[in-house]
Amino acid sequence: MLPFRRILLRRGSLIKCGTFFSPTFRALGGVSRGYKSKHSRSTNTNNAGPGFVMIFTLAIIGTVVFNEAAKRLDKNKPKNTFTEDEYEHVMQGLKRRVAMFPDGQLDVQFSLQKDLGQLKKSLGDSKVYIDPVHVVETYRGIQDDPFEPLLNEIYSKYGPKYLNHLPQGLLVNLLGRYMKTNCRQGDHVVILDFPHSIKDAIKFENEVCSVSKLLATEETLDSDVCKYYQTVRKSQQL
C-alpha cells in the first residue's frame, strides 16, 4: 500500500505544483492544436484544389477555341486587294462559272426592232434571228419541261401578252437554254425586241453571253435600255 500512496501523493504534488497547467504543458497542447489547425487548412486546400485546376483547364480550352475561331474568321474574311494576275484569274473564273458562252464564241446583238422583215432587209439573211415569243412558246408546249406548268398558268391568266408578266429573269433563262441548243460557235445572233429592261440586259450578259451591240429604232432612242448602251458605246440606230 505504501507505493500506491506514494504515487497518489506524487500525483497530488504534481497537481499542487501546477505541472499540468505549466507553460510547457500548455505549449505542447498548443503544438497539438496548431498541428490540427494546419492539418485542417491543408485538407481544405486539397478540397479546393480540383476546382482551381478545373477553372484553369477551362480557361486554357477557351483560349484555344477562341484562337481557332479567330483564325477561321481571318481565313473567311474577303480579300480586298489583288495583284493584276490575281484579279485576271478571279475574273476569268467568274466568267467560266457564270456565262454559258465564253467571249468570242458568239456575236450577239440585241434589237429593239420588232419587225423581222425590216431587220432582214437591214442586216441580211446570214444571221441567226431569235424571237423571244417563239422561244417561250416552244417551252410552253413541252410537257416535260420544268417551266411548262408555270408558263401555261401565266398564259391562262394574261393571254397572248403573257410575256410581259413573266417573273424577273425567266425570259433570260429561257433564251439561254434555247441558244445553247440552237446556236453554234461563230454564229452571228440577233435577238428581236429584247431586252425590255436594264436588269434583263445585265442578267443576259452576266449569265448567257456578252453583247456586241444594241440595234435601236428612232422610236426607242429615249428608252432606258438604249441610253444604257449609249453610255457604254454599244448602241447603233437602224
pLDDT along the chain (238 residues), means of 10: 44 45 44 45 48 68 64 50 48 59 93 91 93 96 92 94 92 96 95 94 94 93 92 89
Preceding omega of 167 cis (within 30 degrees of 0): no
CATH of domain 107-237: 3.40.50.300
Can you give the C-alpha Rg of the chain in angstroms? 47
In 122-167 the beta strands, taken as DSSP E runs, fall at 128-130
Q: What is the pLDDT of residue 232?
A: 87
**CA-wise closest residue to 111 among 127, 95, 98, 126:** 127
In a 13 Å sphere around the CA of 185, the CA atoms on its Cβ side amount to 4
Q: What is the pLDDT of residue 97?
A: 54
Q: What is the pLDDT of residue 37?
A: 46
Q: What is the pLDDT of residue 93?
A: 52
Q: Sign of torsion, CA 54 57 59 62?
A: negative
Residues 6 or more apart from 110 whose CB is under 8 A from it?
190, 191, 194, 195, 201, 211, 213, 214, 215, 229
Q: What is the pLDDT of residue 30?
A: 45
Q: What is the pLDDT of residue 8?
A: 40
CB-CB contact of 98 with 137 (8 Å): no
pTM: 0.59
Residues in a beta bridge with 215 = 111, 236
Q: What is the pLDDT of residue 81?
A: 43
Per-residue pLDDT of 199-227, as tens digits, reads 999 999 999 999 999 999 999 999 999 99
Q: What is the pLDDT of residue 105?
A: 93
